[in-house]
Amino acid sequence: MNNIFRAIRSCSFIIAALGVCNYSNANGDVDFSQWTLSWSDEFDYENEALEDNWISQNGPTENEWVLSSRWRDNAVVDDGVLLLKAEKESRGGQDWTTGNVWSKRTFGYGYYEARMKYAGAYGTNNSFWLWPKQGTSEGEKACEIDINEGHYPNIINTNVHNWTDKYTLPNGRVAHSDNQLHHTLHGDPENGLTLDKPVFTRKVRLRSNNPASIHIAEFRVLDGSSENIATAASISTNGVFSKLPSKESFAIDGRADTRWVSGKHGEKWLELEWDKPQQVAGIEFSNGWLQEFGAAKGKYRNLISDYVIEYHDGDNWVKVAQYDAAQVADYSTQWHTYGLEWDEDYFRFYLDGELYHQMRNDVCFSDTTILFSLAILKADIAGPVTDAIDGTSMKVDWVRYYTKP
C-alpha cells in the first residue's frame, strides 16, 4: 500500500495529469527559481566550529578497498574551504591518513549541490555522497547514493547501492544491487597521430593507467598508403572485463559497433605484433562509448584518462605519443559543482548545473546524512597509489540543500 501512495504522490503521476513538477529548464539545467534553499554550510568559520555541523571519523577504515585511516586532524577548515587532507603516515594500522565528515542532521528528498576540487593525484577517491548514518527505519532499505566518487583528473562516478537486499554469487561472494557508472564529460573519443617519418616495426602497443577499464572500439595502425594493417596482427592485452560482452579481437576487427573492454585493475595495455616488420605511418583509436538515449544522450562515458603509444625498434620500446586528460580538464585545479535531484521517482545528476545522467529510484525513500570523504584505494581502482598523493587534499567550498516550495 505504501508504494501505491508513493506513486500517487509522485511527480511523475502529476506530470502525466497536469504537466507540472519540472524542476529543470528546457536545457536540462537546474532552475533555482523552482527550489528553496533549506540548509547550507559555507565553511566560513574557524576550524573548531566544524564540529557544530559535522562528525569526523577517528580511526582505521574497515572497508577492504581503502588504504587510509581517517582522522579529525585531516579535516581542516581553512579560509572558507573544508580541506580533507591526505598524508603518508602510519596510523591506525594503515599506511596513509585522510579525512572525512558526515552531517549531524538528516535530510530527505531535494536538490543537493557542493562546490569541490579533487585531490590532485591518481589513487584518490573524492566522494560527495548520502548514507543514513543515523540508521535505517524498519521496512526501509539501507541506501547509499554516490553523487560523485571522483577520480583524478576528471572522472565522475555515480552509484546507487541497495545494501539491504544482498545475494550470494555462484563463486560464494556476497553481493548487493548497485549501478556504478563512470562518466568522462571532457575529452575526445578519437585519438590519433601521424609519425613525422614512417618506421618499420613488428610491434606497437598502447599503455594506460586509466582508473577504470578502458573501452577501445577500434585500434588502427596505418601504413604509408593509409591502409589499416592492425587487422592482420596478433593481439595481446591485460585481459577482458568479465561483466561486459567483450573480446580482445574486438579492438581490431574493423567494426565500430564492437569494443574491447580491458581488465579493471592495474595497468592496462594492448599490444599488436606482426610476423614480419611493417611500415607504420600513423596510429589511431576510438575509445569510450556514446550514450544514445536518456539524460546523457550525446555524451561519452569511460573516455581514457591517459596513455602512451610506443613501437619496438628491435631492441627497445620507443615512445611516439603521450596523452594526459589533466591537460584537457583537471578537476583538482578547477572548481566544479556536483548536484543531485532526488525524489520518489528519480535520481538526476548534474555537473555545473547541467543534467548529465538520470535513473529511476526504486530503493531510496528514507532520510539520510550528507558525507564528504577522501580515500586512498587499493588495486589501482582510482589509478596507481604513489607518493604524489602525499600532501594533496580534496576541497569543499560549500554544500547546499534545496527543497521544493
pLDDT tens for the chain, 405 residues: list them.
333 333 333 343 333 333 334 466 756 789 999 999 999 999 999 999 999 999 999 999 999 999 999 999 999 999 999 999 999 999 999 999 999 999 999 999 999 999 999 999 999 999 999 999 999 988 899 999 999 999 999 999 999 999 999 889 888 888 899 998 889 888 899 999 999 999 999 999 999 999 889 999 999 999 999 999 999 999 999 999 988 889 999 999 999 899 999 998 889 999 999 999 999 999 999 999 888 887 778 888 899 999 999 999 999 999 999 999 999 999 999 999 999 999 999 999 999 999 999 999 999 999 999 999 999 999 889 999 999 999 999 999 999 999 998
User: Residue 299 has what pLDDT?
Assistant: 82
The answer to whether position 143 is within a domain reads yes
Cell of 314: 628491435
Both 277 and 134 in one domain: the answer is no
Both 104 and 146 in one domain: the answer is yes
Instruction: Judge if the upstream peptide bond of residue 189 is cis by omega within 30 degrees of 0.
Output: no
CATH code where residue 399 lies: 2.60.120.200
- The span from the CA of 274 to the CA of 271, in Å, is 10
Both 233 and 147 in one domain: the answer is no
The answer to whether position 16 is within a domain reads no
Q: Given 294, 327, 360, which residue is the final one in a domain?
A: 327
Both 47 and 177 in one domain: the answer is yes
- The span from the CA of 166 to the CA of 335, in Å, is 37
Both 217 and 351 in one domain: the answer is no
Both 168 and 254 in one domain: the answer is no
User: Residue 23 has what pLDDT?
Assistant: 67
User: Residue 18 has what pLDDT?
Assistant: 32
- The span from the CA of 114 to the CA of 101, in Å, is 14
Both 76 and 101 in one domain: the answer is yes
Both 163 and 206 in one domain: the answer is no
Q: Given 308, 327, 346, which residue is the final one in a domain?
A: 327
Q: Given 327, 352, 370, which residue is the final one in a domain?
A: 327
Both 173 and 198 in one domain: the answer is no
Question: Which residues span the domain enclosing 293?
Answer: 190-327
Helix (H, G, I), strand (E, B) or coil at 206: strand
Both 170 and 39 in one domain: the answer is yes
- Give the CA distances from residue 122 to residues 125, 129, 253, 281, in Å, rounded to whole numbers and listed in that order: 9, 20, 32, 33
- The span from the CA of 255 to the CA of 250, in Å, is 8
Q: Structural domain tally of the chain?
A: 2
The answer to whether position 95 is within a domain reads yes
User: Residue 284 has what pLDDT?
Assistant: 97
The 10 Å Cβ neighbour count of residue 120 is: 20
User: Residue 6 has what pLDDT?
Assistant: 36
Both 207 and 169 in one domain: the answer is no
Residue with cell 587532507: 85
User: Residue 16 has what pLDDT?
Assistant: 31
- The span from the CA of 223 to the CA of 229, in Å, is 7
The predicted-structure confidence for 369-393, as pLDDT tens digits, reads as follows 999 999 999 988 999 999 999 999 9
The answer to whether position 11 is within a domain reads no
Q: Phi and psi at residue 121, in whole multiples of 5°?
A: -160, 145
HSE of 234, CA atoms in CB hemisphere, 13 A: 6
Q: Phi and psi at residue 74, in whole multiples of 5°?
A: -90, 0
Residue with cell 555522497: 129
Strand partners, 249: none
User: Residue 7 has what pLDDT?
Assistant: 36
Both 340 and 273 in one domain: the answer is no
User: Residue 1 has what pLDDT?
Assistant: 33
